[in-house]
Amino acid sequence: MVREFEGRTEQEAIDTAAVALGLEPHEFEVEIISTRGGGLFGRNKAVRISVHLPGDEPDEHPRNRPSSGTVETMEVASAQAYTVTTAHNGNLLPDTDFEHAVVDFVSTVTDKMGFPASARISFREANKLGIRLESDHANILIGRKGKNLDALQLLSNVLAGRFTDSEIKVVLDTEGYRGRREEQLIQLAHKVGDQVKRSRGSKLLEPMNPFERRLIHTTLNDIEDIGTESEGEGLYKQVRIFYRGNDRR
């Protein structure tokens, strides 16, 4: 089910959605569909969001976007960021049936893959559980651009969705990969943004998962004359970084 709301700012759009749905903002996920700026001093700026509730089926179909280069597409609510705080040196013992089930599942899957790993809880947050994998095969578990780790994380979240009615996101990491990847993507965004600004053209980045795309969008969101939008279908889409200085009114 498509639920879309609009406001002059992202927060206003989220507040509008919360009132319409009778929910608190933390009870749903937000995807920013587009931001639009127009009129003198940007007084006609609008942010359109799509709201996803627990149990919603993922939408794999691309959205129709205006042909104008003034649209910036952002994906995945900021609540999904991997940057978190840890407790007890990031080594917590499972204390619920749910946590035991997730830890056992990850350990069993990696063992059957032939690359055994010890799964440990690294952090707990509201609706989020971090799992750290300790293994001699960390590079293989990560895979190229983290795709193996993403696949294992996806399976873990499928299990989590079947095990509990609450929306708890499982975040897998090993050897600090998530943090390193985040730093690399921020550097890449700034580097390509500078190149595009000088050339006044555009550049298409490699396919990325939703979190990585969101990071690129947010990193360049406030850079003058630079716009971003996602292209493609499925989980791994590409971000196009483009020059839009000539589109200003």
Query: Does residue 181 fall inside a structural domain?
Result: no
Task: Say how far apart CA 99 and CA 110 lie, in whole Å.
Answer: 17
At residue 98, does pLDDT exceed 60? yes
Query: Does residue 21 fall inside a structural domain?
Result: yes
Q: How much is the average pLDDT of 108-117?
A: 94
Query: Does residue 6 fall inside a structural domain?
Result: yes
> Quick one: pLDDT at residue 171?
93
Q: Which two tokens stand for residue 182?
A: 């985040």
**Stronger pLDDT, 37 or 147, i.e. the higher one:** 147
**By residue range, what is the domain housing residue 49?**
1-59
Q: Of 66-80, 139-153, 226-240, which gets the smallest average pLDDT?
A: 66-80
Task: Judge if 106 and 52 occupy the same domain.
Answer: no
Outline where DSSP puts E strands in the chain: 4-7, 29-36, 46-52, 118-125, 128-134, 169-173, 202-204, 226-231, 238-243
Question: How many structural domains is the chain composed of?
Answer: 2
Domain finish residue from 175, 203, 237: 175
Query: Does residue 219 fall inside a structural domain?
Result: no
Q: How much is the average pLDDT of 226-240?
A: 90
Q: How many CB atoms lie within 10 A of CB 142?
A: 24
Query: Does residue 34 fall inside a structural domain?
Result: yes
- Would you place residue 234 in the very low, low, confident or very high pLDDT band (cuts 50, 70, 90)? confident
Task: Judge if 117 and 50 occupy the same domain.
Answer: no
Task: Judge if 166 and 95 occupy the same domain.
Answer: yes
pLDDT digits (tens, 9 = 90+) for 177-189: 999 999 999 999 9
Q: How many CB atoms lie within 10 A of CB 45?
A: 14
Task: Judge if 54 and 98 occupy the same domain.
Answer: no
pLDDT digits (tens, 9 = 90+) for 17-75: 887 887 877 777 877 777 665 443 344 557 778 888 776 655 444 344 333 333 333 33
Question: In this structure, what CATH number is given to the domain that contains residue 104?
Answer: 3.30.300.20
Domain finish residue from 59, 82, 101: 59
> Quick one: pLDDT at residue 138?
94
Yes or no: say if 45 and 8 are a contact pair by the CB < 8 Å rule. Answer: yes
> Quick one: pLDDT at residue 57?
59
pLDDT digits (tens, 9 = 90+) for 157-170: 988 888 776 678 89
> Quick one: pLDDT at residue 22?
78
> Quick one: pLDDT at residue 148?
93
Domain finish residue from 175, 190, 207: 175
Task: Say how far apart CA 193 and CA 225 lie, in whole Å.
Answer: 10
The pTM score is: 0.57
Query: Does residue 141 fall inside a structural domain?
Result: yes
At residue 197, does pLDDT exceed 80? yes
Q: Which two tokens stand for residue 117?
A: 């790993």
Yes or no: say if 102 and 159 are a contact pair by the CB < 8 Å rule. Answer: yes
Q: What is the mean pLDDT of the chain?
A: 78
Task: Judge if 54 and 97 occupy the same domain.
Answer: no
> Quick one: pLDDT at residue 105?
93
Task: Judge if 45 and 97 occupy the same domain.
Answer: no
At residue 205, does pLDDT exceed 80? yes
Query: Does residue 213 fall inside a structural domain?
Result: no
Q: Which two tokens stand for residue 77?
A: 């609510």
Query: Does residue 241 fall inside a structural domain?
Result: no
